[in-house]
Amino acid sequence: MLEQPEQPSTNSWKSKLKPILETIEMIVIALVLYFLINSVVARVQVQKISMVPTLVPGEVLLVNKLAYTFGEIEHGDIITFHYPLEPDLDYVKRVIGKPGDEVIVNNRDVWVNGELLFEPYISAAPEYEGTWQVPTDGLFVLGDNRNPSADSHIWGFVPLENVIGKVFAVYWPPNKIRGISTPVIFSANQ
C-alpha cells in the first residue's frame, strides 16, 4: 500500500495566520483612532515668548478644534489660528476683542467696550497705545508678554475663518502638564 503524503491541516495554517491578522487589525484600529482624535484635537508647540508667563517656548499644547463649533469665543480664551499675513504659520494668542468690540490701550491699561480688563496673567502692562474697532468677522488678540509680542496691535485682526481652536491643556513636558482655563478678565472695581 502506498502512503499518501500528509495534507497540511487547515487548522495549522489558520493558527499561523491568526497573529498576523490580529496585528493588522490592531494597526488599523490605531490608525482610525489616531485620525479621529486628530480631527478633533490639534497639537501645537509654543515657539516664541509672546505668551510668557502663561505659556513658554517648548511647551506642547492641546487644542480643541471643535470648541467653537459648539460654543462661542470668549474674552480671555487662548486660541490658535493661522497667522493672517502668512497662513502657513500658526500663532497662539489671547482673545481680547470679539466682533464689534472697541479695544482701547491707554496709560498702560486695556479697555474693552469701556470696561477695564483685569489681567494678572500678563508679564507687564503694555507700553503702547491705540484704539481698535474689531470688525464683525474678526478678533483682536494680544500676547500675555505684551510689549515684545507681535499681535493685533501691530498687524491687525484675526479673521474668524483663521481660528483653529481653543487651547485647553499643556501636555509636554510632563512636569508642566496642566489645564488651561479662561480667566475672568473684566475688572470688578472700575
119, amino acid identity: E
Specify whether the CB–CB gap between 44 and 65 falls below 8 A.
no
Phi/psi of residue 30, each to 5°? Answer: -60, -40
In angstroms, the CA 148 to CA 137 distance is: 26
Residue with the three cell numbers 510689549: 147
In angstroms, the CA 24 to CA 136 distance is: 50
Q: What is the edge-to-edge ordering of all strands in the sheet holding 130-133? A: 115-116, 109-112, 102-106, 130-133
Handedness of CA 69, 159, 123, 53 (dihedral sign): positive
In angstroms, the CA 53 to CA 45 distance is: 15
**Active-site residue flag, 93:** yes
Active site residue: 93, 98, 149, 152, which one? 93
Active site residue: 14, 50, 98, 149, which one? 50
**Active-site residue flag, 181:** no
Q: What residues are labeled active site?
A: 50, 93
